[in-house]
Amino acid sequence: TGTTRPQRLLRAVQERATRGDSESVIAAIDHFCRHQEWAMNVGDEKGFILDSVVSEVSPQTALELGTYCGYSTVRIARLLPPGGHLITLEFNPNYAAVARQVIAWAGLEDMVQVVEGASGDWIPHLREHFGIESFDFVFLDHWKELYLPDIKLLEECGLLRKGTVLLADNVVCPGTPDYLEYVRKSQSYESHYFGSHLEYTRAEDGLEKSVYLG
Ligand SMILES: O=C(NCCCCCn1ccnc1)c1cc(-c2ccc(F)cc2)cc(O)c1O
Ligand SMILES: [Mg+2]
């Protein structure tokens, strides 16, 4: 027994960050991951790229696949425009429980909906369950072999529109080769690779930004 890494990360947030201050929550998690224990958050370097894409899109509706401890959820939600809303899907209930508390500590619970379950099960029900017409922005950061099937499902469910921006983490490490090939070859996407590093390390990694053309 004892605590899990997500629980230790949450304790670091509660001990180091100021309630309602999302910047201090982000800083506390980055400090924990650099100085205490590595964790698979998108991190500060790739997080800066995520911030710039979210700011550019300024999404009213956003979807995140893979919440983990809520680090990228907080990064995205803090930049949403008035009326903006973020739905984040997490398969692991222990991750989801920690993420809800991290998001609440940042004071962003009103703009975020943490949904527990398998992305493939939930995607076909997002419209009816949350009144979503389509997404302006999608951040992919869950199991790497699900990136491709899940964007195909989003297409089939009509949840992408002309101009929807997809941003995928880890396209180099751990890697998402089938997803990359698809978005780079498909006539329905305009893709661009942002080179960076695996969170808190010197290993190569990067984000792929893909605009859906319909
Ligand atoms: O596996 C990752 N994320 C998915 C976690 C489970 C998602 C569950 N889920 C949520 C919704 N549907 C399913 C991941 C891994 C690494 C990594 C890199 C190098 C290494 F040596 C070890 C690990 C780095 C990341 O940045 C990652 O995102
Ligand atoms: Mg990741």
With bands split at pLDDT 50, 70 and 90, how would you rate the model's confidence at 1? confident
Residue 155 is predicted with a pLDDT of 98
| pLDDT tens per residue across span 161-183 | 999 999 999 999 999 999 999 99
- Specify the pTM: 0.99
Q: Which residue's CA is minimally distant from atom 5 of ligand 1? A: 142
pLDDT digits (tens, 9 = 90+) for 128-140: 999 999 999 999 9
Give the ligand whose atoms come closest to the C-alpha of residue 89. 1
- Decide: 147 and 180 in contact? Cβ < 8 Å: no
pLDDT in tens, 100-133: 999 999 999 999 999 999 999 999 999 999 999 9
Of 116, 142, 204, the one to substitute when testing ligand 1's pocket (max ligand atoms within 8 A of C-beta) is 142
**How many CB atoms are closer than 10 A to CB 210?**
25
Residue 20 has pLDDT above 90, yes or no: yes
Query: Residue 2 — pLDDT band, cuts 50, 70, 90?
Result: confident
* Torsion, Cα of 3, 8, 106, 207 (10° steps): -110
Q: Which residues line ligand 1 (CB under 6 A)?
A: 40, 65-66, 68, 89-92, 119, 141-143, 169-170, 173-174, 198-199
User: What's the number of CA atoms in the CB half-sphere (13 Å) around residue 32?
Assistant: 24
Q: Quick one: three-class SS letters along the chain?
A: CCCCHHHHHHHHHHHHCCCCCHHHHHHHHHHHHHHHCCCCCCHHHHHHHHHHHHHHHCCCEEEEECCCCCHHHHHHHCCCCCCCEEEEEECCHHHHHHHHHHHHHCCCCCCEEEEECCHHHHHHHHHHHHCCCCEEEEEECCCHHHHHHHHHHHHHCCCEEEEEEEEECCHHHHHCHHHHHHHHHCCCEEEEEEEEECCCCCCEEEEEEEEECC
- pLDDT for 109: 98
CA neighbor of 170 nearest in space, from 68, 77, 84: 68
Q: Residue of the nearest CA to atom 21 in ligand 1?
A: 174
Q: pLDDT tens for residues 23-33?
A: 999 999 999 99
When the pLDDT of each residue in the chain is averaged and rounded to a whole number, the result is 98
CA of 82 to the centre of ligand 1 (A): 30
Residues 6+ apart with CB under 8 A from 2: none
Q: Are 130 and 39 in contact (CB under 8 A)?
A: no
Tokens (6 digits) for 101 = 């508390």
ipTM: 0.98
